[in-house]
Amino acid sequence: MKTNLDDRRLPDPVIPQHFQDEIDKLNGTHVMLVSEKAMTSTDMERHQGRFSIPRGKVRSHAFLREKDNPQEGIKCSLIQPCLEVITDLGFKKWTMDLTFSYTLIKKWNSVACNEKNRLQTGCVVQLWSFRVGSDLWFALVNLDLQREDNVASSSTGITNI
């Protein structure tokens, strides 16, 4: 019997615990993964000033509420990979001919250029959404940084021979 690979449901990803701890401090709710993608050169270029999430990279649109209007833009806040919070970002839906992208704009360069975030073209990130009250928040997880942290914390330097 032939099976479709898409029929096998993968477990839902879980946000790293230190991000969940920060979300809990803010009394955040409704945490969900919006997208996982590799950072592009456009995401990192200062003159572009935006982080783009193409339609094909959006896992779910359920993070948006009926009253949200991404066409007009939504004021949001972000927990950066270094766990610092940045406020007053903009989240907007950019419609093109046959497709669209969600974008984080305004103050995005403060995130991209923050050396503590260790963002660079090609690194893989996850964008998570959550709500603080009715306000839209995001958390940006640098998976490359997470992997490095996991390797560092799991190596004790002691060998049993």
* Tens-digit pLDDT profile for residues 98-120: 888 888 999 998 899 889 999 99
Rg, C-alpha atoms of the chain: 17
Per-residue pLDDT, averaged over 30-45, amounts to 92
What are the structural domains, with CATH classification, of the chain? Answer: 15-153 (2.40.330.10)
* Tens-digit pLDDT profile for residues 69-106: 777 888 999 999 999 999 999 998 888 888 888 889 99
Residue 26 has pLDDT above 60, yes or no: yes
Element (H, E) at 42: helix 41-44
Angle value at C-alpha 86, between 36 and 106, nearest 5 degrees? 80
Q: Is residue 24 within 8 Å of residue 137, measured between CB atoms?
A: no
